[in-house]
Each structure stands twice: as C-alpha cells, then as structure tokens.
Amino acid sequence: MDEGFSLTLINDGEAKITWHLSPQKIQLISLFFDRLPYTFVKALRIYQLQNHEFNGNHACFYELELQQEDTSCLYNNFTMGQSYIFEVGIKLDEKTFIPLLRSSLFSIHDEYVREEIDYFKVNDSSPDWAERVSTYSLYENFNDGWKL
C-alpha cells in the first residue's frame, strides 16, 4: 500500500481513520535526531477547516497520541458538512510536532465521505510575468518588441 489516508464513515459523526506511513520516514527522523524510533511520541492531528483552505497555520482541532504500532483509530466528533485534514507525525516535546504524513481534504457528508484529491495539486503552469523576467533583468514591451 502507498502512503496515505482513508476515512470510513461508520455512523453519524463517527468514522475510522486509517493511514499507511512509510517506515523509512520514521527511520530517517530517528537517524536525524539520533534517537531510537520507539522513543518518539506518535500523534494524529485532525484539523477542521471552515473554508476549504489549509495553509499549515491552522490551530489543531484535535490531537491523539498513538501507540507506535497504530495505523488506524476511531473518531466520533465529525460534523456533517465540514471538511478535515489529518496529519500523522511525531512529537519531540509538548510544543514540537513534526508531521510525517498529511492527508488530502476530506469532506464529511450525511452518507459518504469525499476525498478532494486535487486539493493540494501543484499548478505547473508558468506565471504570466515569467516571460518578462530573467534572473538578472526585467524586459518590457515597447510595442515594437521586447526591450531591455
């Protein structure tokens, strides 16, 4: 299974959150901080979004400390019609949380969950000013072509 999250609605406001996190990420963090993997506190964060926008600065709506072997949990305070983002990560201390996996946007509806797959899609198109700017110069159009 690839890394990622899934959300299964059980009944009104209750769902099972499941994730798969690459063991290599935990190993990398372990090597970086020179700590054994089991010494980290694993946590799940749930963010409830009001306007479908997430910039990483939202206050955490709910945080659950996990056992190292946990790959799912039940949560029963979802609000129908709201959208959520989940993060699994490690806590180095009470103030420092390092997210290792972030979900797409999940919208909770009465009978189903919709994952907004394209929510974090990167826009590969060039900005409209890119043809006028180089690393060193700004070019302007003087009606007879581009001039420096």
Q: In tens digits, what is the pLDDT along the chain, a chain of 148 residues?
A: 578 998 888 887 888 999 999 989 989 999 999 999 888 999 999 988 876 666 666 666 889 999 989 999 999 888 888 888 899 999 988 888 899 999 988 887 755 565 554 443 334 444 555 555 555 555 555 565 554 4
**Residue 79 pLDDT:** 83
**Residue 137 pLDDT:** 54
**Contact present, 5 and 16 (Cβ < 8 Å):** no
**Spatial separation of the C-alpha atoms in residues 89 and 102, rounded to whole Å:** 9
Pairing of strands 62-66, 4-11: unpaired
Rounded to two decimals, the pTM is 0.70
The token duo for 7 is 């959300």
**Residue 37 pLDDT:** 87
